[in-house]
Amino acid sequence: MADITVRPLRDDDADRVLAIYQAGLDAGDASFETTAPTWAAFDAAKLPAHRFVAVDGNNTVVGWIAVAPTSGRTVYAGVVEHSVYVDPAAQGRGVARLLLDTLIASTEAAGIWTIQSGVFPENAASLTVHERAGFRVIGVRERVGRHHGRWRDVVLLERRSPVVT
């Protein structure tokens, strides 16, 4: 991990971000989506702030994290949903944890009080890294959507900031 650093995501990271996104989707336990969006669609869906990439010693992007609003209602203005994806070749080294900790610090500094996410129960690495980062399971949605024709459950996770009051 010594050579991994995190910096704000830039537009010129688009190709790497979308390639890592597609590799995660292809692995089969990341999302109901099967095809990564265009950069324009990604850019429109994610908040402009709180976007980060992890970069290795060769200055190669090996992971990313970003958030989307969960509602247009003011009462939920401080509730976001995040996505985190790490290049398969860089997994198991703490990259996602570093990105999550960076996201937590960035969102708390902006007054965002809750980060949520939906994770397939089969995605053990994701459940583990989120638990370690202070997320708790708030429930499981049963057979809530089809993925490659198969109904799948989704574990709902949230992290309520202890510092944003």
Q: Pairing between strand 52-55 and 5-8? A: antiparallel
- The closest alpha carbon to 117, from 98, 102, 101, 131, belongs to 131
Nearer to ligand COA, 75 or 92 (CB): 92
Minimum CB separation of residue 30 from ligand COA in Å reads 3
Tell me the closest approach of the beta carbon of residue 41 to ligand COA, in angstroms: 18
CB of 26 to ligand COA, least distance (A): 9
For the bound state, the minimum distance from the C-beta of residue 29 to ligand COA, rounded and expressed in Å, comes to: 6
Least distance (Å) between residue 7 CB and ligand COA: 17
| Nearest residue (CB) to ligand COA, 78 versus 94 | 94
Asked if residue 75 lies in contact with residue 27, where contact means CB atoms within 8 angstroms, the answer is: no
Rounded distance between C-alpha atoms, residue 125 and residue 128, angstroms: 5
Nearer to ligand COA, 73 or 135 (CB): 135
Chain residues in the site for ligand COA (CB under 6 A): 24, 27, 29-30, 83-86, 91-97, 117, 119, 123-126, 128-129, 132
**What is the C-alpha separation between 46 and 114, in angstroms, rounded?**
16
Burial of 89 (0-12, 13-18, 19+ CB in 10 A): exposed
Q: Which is nearer to ligand COA, 75 or 125 (CB)?
A: 125
